[in-house]
Amino acid sequence: GAVVSQHPSRVICKSGTSVKIECRSLDFQATTMFWYRQFPKKSLMLMATSNEGSKATYEQGVEKDKFLINHASLTLSTLTVTSAHPEDSSFYICSAIRPGAESGRSPYEQYFGPGTRLTVT
C-alpha cells in the first residue's frame, strides 16, 4: 500500500509554545489530505481538510487560528498548533487520498500516517 509519514512521532512542549507536525505522502501525490485528532479509546475526529494550493477547510468547532494548516505541495501538509495548552494534548493523525485508479483498486483510498503524540506540559 501507499506510504504516509508523519514527523515527529512524539513531541512534548511547554504551554504557550507552538508545535509543527509534518505529513508527507512518500510514494504518491495527494491533492487532498485530512487532519484528525483522536482521544484515547475514541474514534477519529476530523479537524480539517487540506487541499494543495488552497486554504484548508475546517470542521465546525475547530479554531483555524489555533490549528494552522498549510498544504504547500502535493506531498506535504503541515499542522501547526499555536500557543499550545494542556488541553491540546492528543494523538494527531494525518491522511492522504491516493488519486487515480489502478486495475482492481479503488481510486479513493485514504492512507493514514502513523500519528503524532503531542503532550503539552
Partner 1 sequence: GENVEQHPSTLSVQEGDSAVIKCTYSDSASNYFPWYKQELGKGPQLIIDIRSNVGEKKDQRIAVTLNKTAKHFSLHITETQPEDSAVYFCAASEVPGNQFYFGTGTSLTVIP
- The residues of the shown chain that bind partner 1, judged by CB under 8 A, are 1, 4, 6, 32, 34, 41-44, 46, 49, 93, 95, 97, 106-115, 117
What is the spatial distance between Cα 43 and Cα 46, in angstroms, rounded to a whole number? Answer: 10
What is the smallest separation between the CB atom of 26 and partner 1, expressed in angstroms?
14
What is the spatial distance between Cα 70 and Cα 77, in angstroms, rounded to a whole number? Answer: 6
User: By the 8 A CB rule, do 51 and 32 touch?
Assistant: yes
Give the position of cell 500500500. 1
What is the smallest separation between the CB atom of 16 and partner 1, expressed in angstroms?
27
- Beta carbon nearer to partner 1, 71 or 113: 113
- Beta carbon nearer to partner 1, 55 or 117: 117
Classify 33 in phi/psi space as left (phi over 0), alpha (psi -120 to 50) or beta.
beta
- Beta carbon nearer to partner 1, 43 or 65: 43
- Beta carbon nearer to partner 1, 33 or 120: 33
What is the smallest separation between the CB atom of 15 and partner 1, expressed in angstroms?
24
Give the position of cell 481538510. 49
